Structure 1
Amino acid sequence: MIYLTRHITRYGYSAPIRESIMEVHMQPRSDGNQRCIEFNLTVRPHTRPTSYHDYQGNVVHHFDIPGQHDQLFLLAESTVEVNPLTPLPESLPQTAWDDLDGLTKSGEFWDYIQPSVFARPTPLLEELAAELRVDRSRDPLSTLLALNSALYGVFSYVPQSTTVDSAIDDAIAHRSGVCQDFSHIMITLVRGLGIPCRYVSGYLYHQRNDKHHDRSEEDASHAWIEAFLPGLGWRGFDPTNNLVAGERHIRVAEGRDYADVPPTRGVFKGQASSELGVSVRIAQSYIPLDAEEKVLMTTVAAPPAPMKRIDQQQQQQQQ
């Protein structure tokens, strides 16, 4: 299946700023069942981004804008081919746990077994694990499928209920959150069982008026998890929608958790607060600009102001 994606980001500042430095994770990956056919990143004020591959294989774009500006605009457009994956079996042998133990002891998956910034055990998480009976009584695949479904059942999807830097305890305590929270909770539980697990940032294609009943919202970035299984490799699970990741999931970046792969991350100098506007569109044909996108694409000039260094806001993955 071929998808067209458009991700618009606009930062508006209350006073002029300068020396914006930013890194961007928005180019879809080309590996596994997916191929990024074309990608283009436009930045205003005009600059020429450079790119590199990080150690996890993600394409990272980097740019700086030394001059004075009161708005920052990014337009990321891509064409991506996503092919169907081989269907998962109903289960794996119980001996697959022994295979996993051998793999993890070798150190090959060290980064995806250890706690990370947003995916680390807490007393509340341990209570949740006991409640959901997260253990090795079933084979690894059956355990993952059951956990995916259980998290979908006990947590409500509530946009804006958490923030970009919320700890997993916030979502656990209120039994609600967004895809970023569900993914971090599942990652922590899965790693606790000795299964390598990583965070996936990307998009989910929503088809209107069809058999899919996704509870996550359209037009936002999405997040899910991938777990490594003996004989199957890395396979994706989407606890927000109780889905096995497949042809509708578009992978952009993979990391230990959100801290590794935010869509945007940066700093600037200036005595200013910032407002963030984001629009995401996914389609299988030409995507005309809607009213919200036209507003986001509008820029104006601003007068000078004193300077200091402030972190840029990051985009929470809400979908």
Structure 2
Amino acid sequence: MLLEIRHVTQYLYDAPVRESVMEVWMQPQKGAGQRLISFELELDPPAQLFSYADTFGNAVYHFDVPQPHDRLTMVARSAVDTQPAAPLPEALDHGEWDRLRSDFVRGENFDFLRPHGFAVETAALRAFMAEKRLDELKVIDPLRAVLELNRIIYESFAYETGVTDADSPIDHALEARRGVCQDFTHIMIAICRAWGVPARYVSGYLFTDRKAGDRSDPDATHAWVEVFLPSTRWFGLDPTNNVLAGERHVAAAVGRDYADVPPSRGVYKGATDSQLAVGVSVRRARAAMTEPEFIRLAQPASASRNGRRRGPPGGVVHDQQQQQQQQQ
């Protein structure tokens, strides 16, 4: 499937800021069932772009706008050719649990087995696991267990923006039984790791299909889970939509949790408030919209996307305010 992605991010400041420093994880990955055809990142105000590969092999772009400005706009454009995911077996033998406990598997996937950041085991998570009797799933093989977990999370939580923020712990969604893809992904990762199944956070995009039952916001970035089983290697599950990750999913970056791979993250110098506006379009290449049509998507985001972030009084902490966006 040939997809064209446009991702507009705009930070608006109530008064000019002196400087902005930003990192972005927006370039789709190469390989893993997808072929990156093109990627470009346009900045306003203009700035010199630099890039590097992070610990997990993701492409990261960073830049510094050192002069005063009252807005910062980033427009990322990508073209990606995706392929259907390889079919999974119907089941695995129960010995897969023993293979997961091997020193080799645990050593190779050390980062994706430990609790980290947002994907941690809390009292609220343990209560949810007990309520849904999730540990009983370990009587079946790990493949069927994670597929069933994907379904249970989908059915247990309503999709609703505005309930959580980019920096909300999983307890907020667990208590409200509502949230967005970022929350569901963290919850599923934490449970998989508690079972001893390596799991990682995938940040990217989804070509939304309402007819297929997708409930994700089509005008936002997306997140899902990848799990590792020795017999299948890495494969993706989308608990927001109760599907396996496939040709409609475009992976941009992988990490231990959201904090490793936010679409954008940075700081600015100035004792002022900021607003974040985000617009995302994922379309088949033959139906790409024009730039003026797409720019209109980037309207001020709701509070669920960190629409307004107030800095400390008097500009303490060196007058630097953090800014990032939530995944929907």
TM-score, normalised relative to structure 1:
0.93
- Establish whether residue 53 from structure 1 lines up as the match of residue 63 from structure 2: no
Cα deviation for residue 296 of structure 1 reads 4.4
Q: Which residue of 1 aligns with 2:80?
A: 80
Q: Which residue of 2 aligns with 1:67?
A: 67
Change (3 A) 1:290 1:217: farther
Change (3 A) 1:178 1:23: same
Show CA shifts across 1:256-294 (max 9, x none). Answer: 000000011111111111000000001112222465724
Match of 2:174 among 169, 172, 175: 172
- In 2, the alpha carbon distance for the partners of 1:310 and 1:102 equals 45
Match of 2:152 among 144, 150, 153: 150
CA contact (8 A) 1:155 1:175 kept: yes
Show CA shifts across 1:72-103 (max 9, x none). Answer: 00000000111112111111110000111005
Moved more, 95-104 or 55-64: 95-104
**SS of the residue 1:312 aligns to:** strand
Percent identity of paired positions between Structure 1 and Structure 2: 48
**SS of the residue 2:228 aligns to:** strand
Q: Which residue of 2 aligns with 1:196?
A: 198
Q: Which amino acid aligns with 1:201?
A: S
Show CA shifts across 1:221-275 (max 9, x none). Answer: 0000000012211010100000111111100010000000001111111111100
Provide the alpha-carbon RMSD of the alignment.
Answer: 1.7
Correspondences of 1:102-251 after superposition (within 5 Å): 102-103=102-103, 106-135=106-135, 136-207=138-209, 210=211, 212-251=212-251
Cα deviation for residue 164 of structure 1 reads 0.6
Structure 1 stretches of 4+ with a deviation exceeding 6 A read none
**SS of the residue 1:6 aligns to:** strand
- In 2, the alpha carbon distance for the partners of 1:177 and 1:185 equals 11
Change (3 A) 1:292 1:34: closer
CA contact (8 A) 1:7 1:76 kept: yes
Change (3 A) 1:296 1:124: closer
User: How many residues are aligned here?
Assistant: 308
- In 2, the alpha carbon distance for the partners of 1:91 and 1:18 equals 57
Cα deviation for residue 31 of structure 1 reads 2.1
CA contact (8 A) 1:18 1:269 kept: yes
- In 1, the alpha carbon distance for the partners of 2:122 and 2:239 equals 20
Q: Which runs of 5+ in 2 are unaligned?
A: 300-313
- In 2, the alpha carbon distance for the partners of 1:296 and 1:177 equals 22
Q: Which amino acid aligns with 1:206?
A: T
**SS of the residue 2:40 aligns to:** strand
Counting helix residues as a fraction of each chain, which structure ranks higher? Answer: 2
- In 2, the alpha carbon distance for the partners of 1:246 and 1:65 equals 37
Q: Which amino acid aligns with 1:6?
A: R
Match of 2:323 among 307, 313, 316: 313
CA contact (8 A) 1:104 1:194 kept: no
Q: Which residue of 1 aligns with 2:21?
A: 21
**SS of the residue 2:323 aligns to:** coil
CA contact (8 A) 1:267 1:309 kept: no
